[in-house]
Structure 1
Amino acid sequence: MACPKKPKHYVHMRRVHLEAAEDHVERLAHERDPIGAVKEFIWNSLDADANNVSIEIHRSELTGTDRIIISDDGSGISPESCASTFDRIGGSWKPTTKRSILEQRPLHGRNGQGRLRGYALGSQIRWTTVATDATGKRLKTVVSASSDARNDFIISDPEPTIDPTGTVFEAWGRQDTRLDSLLTENAVNKIITELGPYLIRYPKISVVYDGKRVEPESAIQKDTKRSFSFTFDDIQHSAEVRIIEWKMKVSRELHLCDENGVSMDIIDMGIKAPGFEFTAYVLWSGVPDHIGTFVLADDTTTPVGALVGAARVELREHFRERIRERRAELVEQWKADDVYPYKSAPENDAELLERETFDTVAATISRHIPRTKRQQKITLALLRETVRHQPEHTHKVLDEIFRLSSDDKKELSRLLDRTSLASLIKAANNVADRLDFLRMLEHLVFDPEASSRVKERTELHKILENETWIFGEHYGLLVSDRSLDAVLDRHLKKLGRRVRTPSPVRREDGSVGIVDLMLSRSQRENGRLQHLIVELKAPKVIVGDKELSQIKSYALAVAEDPQFTDVTVNWEFWLITSKMNGLVRAEARQQGRPSGCVLDYADGPTRVKVWVKTWSELIEDCRDRLHYFKDHFNHDPSIEQAFAYLDFSNPGLLSDAVKKAIPGKVIRDGEVSDTNPTNDGNIDHALDKKDPGDTRMLPG
């Protein structure tokens, strides 16, 4: 291979020596990264106000890549700058300014090391540069160097020329297969991802790589910007992350950029987003001040670490949103192609959760689904049946059918292995059932017609036996509608004692009290047991002195029983009513005492509290606990839906008299039905047409 001819006119040369250890220069050259070297030279051209940059790759028949020529029409390197540019590492003029001299574009390089990257492209390197001096004359200077003596740069004397300003860099003489990476599609893609935002911002700039113009706009699928803030040393900083999703396959990179979007360094992405080809650019004005600390990007005690941590949180949220968008787009396309396996809208929250899970799983594996409509229809129908009937085996079935990629397996495992789909569906049903129940309870106790007909012990009491969660999630039902003797027997059993005193516990008047519900829990943190005794009053009952004295007598009978004087336990008695007279209301609203508390009594380790609570307070407290789920499930049940739940969970419990008070329902031969059976305006609750295959019946 012939060596390039020396320029004819440059006979006066001088040698400048780079003051650095040669092995250090070799490390800075990053000789294993020729693509990185090309990118660095392009940035140098742009920093020199070039509007046209060309990268030519010459090939030989035997050795592949033979020569790389990078030329630009920038301002060039002035003769007086050549020596200072090549005789030391660092020393660049760029740290003194943030913008290029002529075009006032933001600068990329600021550490004066970019010229050393030339050794990654050839063992012989040469710059031919034309610049204008202070008098307006153009002068040409040639700088050359060899890997045989990396620290020595030969600089010619400047010579007048009529050539336009600009710089031509040439590299040759290196026989390395790594140079062939410059000929791959990946090389072009890396240049597009790094320069993309800059070239979009400055459209008049032309970068031509191996004969083709670099055009990032045509490769972009979606371009999103998200502002965020992060805190370091108690100071809040504003930043931005730009996410460009590409139509081409790219290496995932997280670019740390200045506020103008100029990439200063590249670090690991640090997040998973299967199925997306993207590059993220984190923009912060402080990035240039921390060059050299990017290796600490995962250390949250550094400014860059705090920046990157906050950016990754923003990126995860972005791709959660994008997954939802992509899922919706896919579903709409499947519906348009008539291959989507669901034909009607979901009728309840369980069906909705199943549908959403199906959509998520199907979207995750969409790349593996066959392309023909017939095969798509069969595949999606199979997936639906798997999700519906064997959710815990979904990812195993899919792996067997599609041989999923590692990323897809991880995503499906994350989705399905946190908890079983069956448990998710059951949990969703549980919340929906509770909302339905509250709607029905509200109707029974507040609707004038229904509340006047509902019976205290045979209806309201029995309903609440199966819904004790309304009194608190931490209680479990112990007894129901039993005398105080039985209550105390259960208490002794809880304590592990064998027998109770032979004589039964009586109130002061000698009578045996009957309690409606007793619930219990253990508080392990302080060694105390806690029992709740609930006395229910039908909505039509107005609580007065008699009812209040009754529940207080229950409480005192427990507190004064000699068997329990040495037991560490809290007893709470609730009297629940719709209405109370003025005296009871006044006692329940005393100053200096929690609202509703009518007795707070302590005797040794035993403490007794008595409360008067209204049905409205109880229901509102439950609604507050379920408010988040109600909003996110978008479930606001009608009274018909609420009745359907109650009729399923407590079949035959309500009397015909109460059923007649339910809007839109009539009694026909002892069965409840719609007043207008042909009316399709409302969707019946799923429980009206329960079948063994319904997902609501899946075990947790």
Structure 2
Amino acid sequence: MSARDLEVQLTDDHIRRLASCRPVEAIVELVWNAFDSGATEIDVRLIENGLGGVQSVEITDNGDGINYESIDLTFGDLGRSLKARQKTNSRGIPMHGCRGEGRFRAYSLGQRVQWETVTITGQRYTIRGEHAKAKKFEISEPVLEDALSKGTSFVAENIFNVPIAIPSREALADRLSSTFAHRLLGDPKVKLSLNGDAIDPQKLIAHKDTTVIQSPHGEILTNVVIWKSGKKKELYWCDASENARDHEDVKLASDFPFSIYVSTKAIDDAIEANMLGIKDMAGLSDLRRIAVNHARGVLSEYTDDRGSKIIEGLKDKGVYPYSIPPVGEVQLITRGVFDACAAKIFSSVKAVSSAPKDTQWLTLRLLRNAIERSPEEMGKILRELFGATDEQISDLYKLLERTTLSGLISTGKLVGDRLDFLSGLRQIVLSDEYRKVVKERSELHKIIEKECWVFGEGFSLGTSDETLDSVLSYHRSILHHGEDTIDIEVDSERYAKTIPDLVLGSQYKLEDERLLHLVVELKRPSVSISFDQKTQIERYASEVSSDANFDKDRTSWVFYVISSKIDKRISDDYLGKGPSDKGQLPTSSSNMKIFVKTWGQLLQDAHTRMAFLKDKLDMRSTRDDGIEYLSKKFPAIMEKIEDRKDTAKQIVHKKSGIIMDGLMPNEAIKNAGDRSHI
């Protein structure tokens, strides 16, 4: 019996576009064709060669076959498939395809394709095609056969010339599960297998949510399926019968693979209108937004629930590193992020979840320490201890990025450190046991220069403990920003003793584009600010304001002199009393302010700036916390201060004139706080 050729009227470009689709899309399309033929059993096979490579793709089904009488329409007319008129198959299920593009997509699987079919009337015949002559199909003459063997077998061969690789068996099983989940779950008679292994979406589903959403575009049936494994994050556009018609990737942050199935009559209407593509449908972006927002909530709820179960399991096992409930916002959020990270690690890093109990105990304590102190260390811990992949570690960091942990912990630690610093500073400048033994230049100065925020958030250390010419050079360099160098002639003899302890340069411009600088003279805590100190700070201000190298229109200055006490005559007669000029000395310059402050006022100002965060984060700092902070940050300085403090304590004033350790009591106290070298 002779065969005949069937030629399709189609441009080469159109064929090339269809034949260059991804192989997995072609397989999916051919499986849909099998379902449309009324098949209840479909088997996809990747036939491997001796080297483990795929040499052919086979798809067999028990459907109604390809009707020979309508073959001219079925294979010969692209865009007007018989299924577009038929609407439902022999089982009464709505058709999926309607354009007849599947046969050309098959060329992405191999250079030669063949369909061998037996119809419900018992006609057996073969359809063959070659990519090189894609417009023509060879149709054999039908022969009669037992109709009980109805169905179609498809094979694609010579796949070595296919530009895109055939998917792995695992990847294909994953795609078949997600694409045909609704069909397989909704129709128990239907069976789909891959190389003989049943595709059972139910076994792969971790969670499923079905919700009907009312939208401006009509009723939307949204199914969100969270899978147990895989990487897919996708959305399927389905018709009203829940047949997946098209799909797309979704950019939605999630720790779990998921598929969103959006079923709406609007898809049927688009198909009925013979629209070129569902993604061209009006209102699609609104439908996508509604579905994705709903899925985001489902995923968030599932993540929280799953994480809670993992954490409860860790507690029951006795490896959870916290024993008491969190207190305050920082602890609450830190604990929440620890739980999220622990749940993520135990659900994705098998080496951790399957590790012995003592190893899990250690891991969680290392994790706690990393989160509370240095979140970036978590990746190093997981990589070195358990061989976690870069992708797993990247996922963990993405989880952290989606929380407020990094910023909150950084803020919490910053606030905690500052509160401790203020507590410690209060002790060494105001308490009797410390203030008499602290040295101004070599100790107090060195401590303050590392904590310049106490004068204001915008200041950073410029120059420290330099003669005034260095101070002027510093400010000139800031103003000129790399312009030609201008030498500043300074009478060294005149200024030799004009040494402000700290010069703090502003890190920002004022709204009027001026630069603000702060000059601070720290006085020994035991020194009261008298006329001498007032005169000294006024001299600083006068020399700077009269220097020709500073543009008065672009530069503003704030000068401070700070100690524990202010002479009553200075306070009563010279310092401002109002809320805006409290503690300010009068000056004749508009670009300069001079303040006289006590340590108590400075500390109170700093506490006031931090009051909101302190209360919000529910943080407190004690005297001991403050001294401990200073001892850790300034060990050498605090060791000397503590030694002199202890020396002073050892002197017992039983009666005047008794020598202790070779010194008279008053002399010992004096030498303990000796500042003759200052």
TM-score interval, smaller chain: 0.5 to 0.7
Aligned residues: 558
Question: Is structure 2 residue 129 aligned with structure 1 residue 147?
Answer: yes
1:113 is displaced (CA, Å) by 0.6
Deviations 1:130-188 (A, max 9, x none): 6xxxxxxxx89877411367544577999999989x98323369587999x99956544
1:337, 1:597 → 2: CA distance?
A: 64
Asked whether the equivalents of residues 545 and 552 of structure 2 are also in contact (C-alpha less than 8 Å), the reply is no
Q: How does 1:89-488 map to 2 (within 5 A)?
A: 89-92=78-81, 108-109=96-97, 111-117=99-105, 120=109, 123-128=113-118, 144-147=126-129, 151-153=135-137, 168-171=151-154, 187-197=172-182, 199-200=184-185, 202-203=186-187, 206-209=190-193, 214-223=199-208, 244-248=225-229, 250=230, 252-255=231-234, 257-258=236-237, 263=244, 278-281=257-260, 291=277, 329-340=309-320, 359=342, 363=346, 366-369=349-352, 371=354, 373-374=356-357, 376-377=359-360, 380=363, 399=383, 401-408=385-392, 429-434=413-418, 467-477=451-461
Which has a greater percent of helix?
Answer: 2
CA distance in 2, matches of 1:51, 1:597: 92
Q: Classify the secondary structure of the residue corresponding to 2:62.
A: strand
Q: CA deviation at 1:291?
A: 4.3
1:520 partner SS: strand
**Partner Cα separation in structure 2 for residue 57 and residue 347 of structure 1:** 59
Q: Residue by residue, what CA displacement relative to the aligned partner does 1:423-469 show, whole Å, maximum 9, x if unpaired?
A: 99887533332356689999xxxxxxx99xx99xx99x999776531
The one of 500, 506, 513 equivalent to 1:521 is 506
Find out whether 1:636 has 2:622 as its counterpart. no
- For 2:490, the equivalent position in structure 1 comes to 499
Larger deviation: 63-72 or 366-375?
63-72
Q: State the 1:647 CA deviation.
A: 3.6
Instruction: Give per-residue Cα distances to partners, 1:674-699, cap 9 Å, x unaligned.
Output: xxxxxxxxxxxxxxxxxxxxxxxxxx
User: What is the alpha-carbon distance in structure 2 between the residues aligned to residue 468 and residue 45 of structure 1?
Assistant: 75
Cα distance in structure 1, aligned partners of 2:252 and 2:594: 54
Amino acid at match of 1:125: W
Retained in 1: the 8 A contact 2:128–2:138? Answer: no
Quick one: distance in 2 between partners of 1:265 and 1:118?
A: 17
Q: Does 1:70 align with 2:58?
A: no
Unaligned runs of 5+ in 1: 1-5, 131-138, 229-237, 295-302, 443-449, 506-511, 537-545, 590-594, 652-669, 671-700
Counterpart selection for 1:87 from 68, 73, 76: 76
Give the direction of change, closer, same or farther, for the CA distance of 1:322–1:433 in structure 2 (3 Å limit).
Answer: farther
TM-superposed deviation, 1:220: 0.5
Matched, 1:530 2:510: no
TM superposition shift of 1:405 = 3.7
| Residue pair 1:253, 1:266 contacting (<8 A) in 2 also | no
What's the offset of the Cα at 1:531?
1.0
Amino acid of the structure 2 residue aligned with 1:71: N
Deviation at 1:493, TM superposition (A): 5.8
- Cα gap change, 1:432 to 1:111, in 2 (>3 Å): farther
Tell me the CA shift for residue 192 of structure 1: 0.8
Shift of 1:337: 2.1
Q: Deviations over 1:231-288 (max 9, x none)?
A: xxxxxxx99997644335x4x3454532657655667788998xx6724448697998
Deviation at 1:491, TM superposition (A): 3.8
In the alignment, is the contact (CA less than 8 A) between 1:530 and 1:571 conserved in 2?
A: yes
Cα deviations across residues 382-408 of structure 1 (Å, max 9, x unaligned)? Answer: 956996999988756754554444534
Contact 1:141 1:155 survives alignment (8 Å): no
Contact 1:487 1:518 in 2 (8 A): no
**Counterpart position of 2:628:** 648
**1:641-697 CA-partner distances (Å, limit 9, x unpaired):** 35443343458xxxxxxxxxxxxxxxxxx9xxxxxxxxxxxxxxxxxxxxxxxxxxx
Q: Please tell me whether the aligned partners of residues 234 and 247 of structure 2 are also in contact (alpha carbons under 8 angstroms).
A: yes
1:400 and 1:383 mapped to 2: Cα distance? 12
Identical-pair percentage: 20
Amino acid at match of 1:367: K
Cα distance in 2 for partners of 1:188, 1:78 equals 30
Using the TM superposition, give the Cα deviation of residue 125 of structure 1 relative to its aligned residue in structure 2, in angstroms: 1.2
Which residue of 530, 546, 553 corresponds with 1:561?
Answer: 546
Match of 1:16 among 6, 15, 22: 6
Decide whether aligned partners of structure 1 residues 416 and 42 sit closer, same or farther in structure 2, where only a CA change above 3 A counts.
closer
**In 2, are the aligned partners of 1:599 and 1:611 still within 8 Å (CA)?**
no
Taking the aligned partners of 1:472 and 1:208, their CA distance within structure 2 comes to 70
Distance 1:490 1:352 in 2: 44
Which runs of structure 2 are paired with 1:517-596 in the superposition (5 Å)?
Answer: 519-521=504-506, 530-533=516-519, 557=542, 560-562=545-547, 566=551, 570-573=555-558, 588=580
RMSD after superposition: 7.5
Change in 2 beyond 3 A, CA 1:473/1:241: farther
Per the alignment, in what secondary structure is the counterpart of residue 458 of structure 2? coil
Post-superposition shift, 1:20? 3.8
Whether contact under 8 Å (1:17, 1:151) holds in the other structure is: yes
Distance 1:140 1:572, change over 3 A: farther
Note the C-alpha offset of 1:219: 1.5
Give the corresponding residue for 1:235.
none
Aligned residue for 2:180, secondary structure, equals helix
How far 1:561 sits from its partner (Å)?
2.7
* Cα distance in structure 2, aligned partners of 1:16 and 1:36: 25
Mapped to 2, the partners of 1:140 and 1:600 lie a distance apart of 111
Tell me what 1:667 maps to. none
Change (3 A) 1:573 1:65: closer
CA contact (8 A) 1:253 1:267 kept: no
Q: What's the CA shift for 1:207?
A: 3.5
Inter-partner Cα distance in structure 2 for 1:499 and 1:598: 26
Q: How does 1:54-65 map to 2 (within 5 A)?
A: 54-55=42-43
Letter of the 1:194 partner, please give it.
T
The residue type paired with residue 315 of structure 2 is K
Whether the 8 Å CA contact 1:572–1:611 is kept in 2: the answer is no
For 1:14-53, list aligned pairs within 5 A: 16-20=6-10, 28=18, 33=23, 36-46=25-35, 50=38, 52=40
Cα distance change of structure 1 residues 106 and 560 upon mapping to structure 2, 3 Å threshold:
farther
What is the letter of the counterpart of residue 532 of structure 1? L
